[in-house]
C-alpha cells in the first residue's frame, strides 16, 4: 500500500508543477521540471526505498523464479532480500541477493544440493 501512496505522491507533485507552469505559459519549464521530479522519484524508489517499503511497511515487489528452477525459500539480511532456488537439472541450489537498486548482487551456488527429494 505504501508503494502506491509513494507513486501517487510523486505523480501528483509532477502534475502540480506542470500545471502551475502551464498556467503561466512556461511549458518547457513545466515539462522539464515534471520529468526531473519523476526521474528523482524513480531513482530514489529503485535505489533506496523499494526493499525498505516491502520489508518494513508492506510495500510491493515482484521477483520471478528463473525458468527451470524451483523456489525454496526467501529471507532478509538487513534490508537485502536473499532468495533460494533449486535447479533439478544441475542438482544445485542458488542463493541470490536482491540489494537496493540491484547494485550489489551476491550469488552463492551449492553443488549436489537436492532439497526436494525426501528420504
**C-alpha angle 50/63/45, rounded to 5°?**
15
**52 in Cβ contact with 44 (< 8 Å):** no
pTM: 0.65
Provide Rg for the chain, Cα atoms.
21
Residue listed under C-alpha cell 542463493: 95
Most confident of 44-48, 78-82, 87-91: 87-91
pLDDT in tens, 13-68: 999 999 999 999 999 999 999 999 999 999 998 888 888 888 888 777 788 888 99
Can you read off the three cell numbers belonging to residue 47? 535505489
Amino acid at each position: 500500500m505504501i508503494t502506491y501512496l509513494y507513486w501517487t505522491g510523486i505523480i501528483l507533485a509532477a502534475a502540480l508543477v506542470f500545471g502551475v507552469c502551464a498556467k503561466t505559459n512556461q511549458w518547457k519549464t513545466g515539462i522539464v521540471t515534471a520529468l526531473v521530479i519523476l526521474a528523482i522519484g524513480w531513482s530514489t524508489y529503485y535505489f533506496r526505498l523499494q526493499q525498505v517499503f516491502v520489508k518494513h511497511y508492506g510495500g510491493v515487489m515482484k521477483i520471478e523464479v528463473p525458468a527451470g528452477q524451483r523456489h525454496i525459500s526467501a529471507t532478509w539480511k538487513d534490508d537485502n532480500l536473499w532468495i533460494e532456488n533449486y535447479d533439478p537439472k544441475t542438482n544445485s541450489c542458488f542463493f541470490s541477493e536482491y540489494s537496493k537498486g540491484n547494485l550489489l548482487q551476491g550469488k552463492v551456488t551449492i553443488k549436489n544440493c537436492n532439497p526436494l527429494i525426501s528420504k
